[in-house]
Amino acid sequence: MPSFSNARIVKHDAADMFALVADVERYPEFVPLCEALRVRRRTKSDEGVEVLVADMTVAYKLIRETFTSRVTLDRPRLVIHVEYLDGPFSRLDNRWEFRAVDQGRSEVKFHISYEFRSRTLGLLMGAMFDAAFRRFADAFEARADAVYGAPAGA
């Protein structure tokens, strides 16, 4: 099963990076391959955990696929977990973790594993998905610079 993991130190606060990744409605503005994202349902707990059910449409040239996921935004632990519910995958699991390193810097960990239901779709989209995941960290860091301002000396 294909997977991709990345960990990097960014020049932004961990809570700010969590908020940026949690703002899923904005993904079509900057996330590679994300054409549309619609939140179907949103529930909040008293413990600071929010659960979304969202549809994301990814597109590349003539290929367009929509899938549904449950997104758990665990603000107290600074963890985001995405679980696959429906669409072209047989499996998809995605996790983000944010940890303060020092004043104004944080470590952002990203992991995703997935498998397409259709072997043909996997062959068509697999290499392109791999390339997109490798660009995710850059896209989110660039978005953080745009939203929160580029750090001094960057």
Q: What is the 3-state secondary structure (H, E, C) of 65-109?
A: EEEEEEEEEECCCCEEEEEEEECCEEEEEEEEEEEEEECCEEEEE
Segment 7-19 shows an average pLDDT of: 95
| Of 16-30, 117-131, 133-147, highest mean pLDDT | 16-30
CA distance 48 to 25: 19
Tell which wins on pLDDT, 4 or 38. Answer: 38
What 8-state DSSP symbol labels residue 60?
E
% of the chain with per-residue pLDDT over 90:
60
Q: In this predicted structure, what is the pLDDT of residue 62? A: 80
Q: In this predicted structure, what is the pLDDT of residue 151? A: 73
CA distance 21 to 80: 8
* Model pTM score: 0.89
CATH number of 3-148: 3.30.530.20
Segment 33-47 shows an average pLDDT of: 94
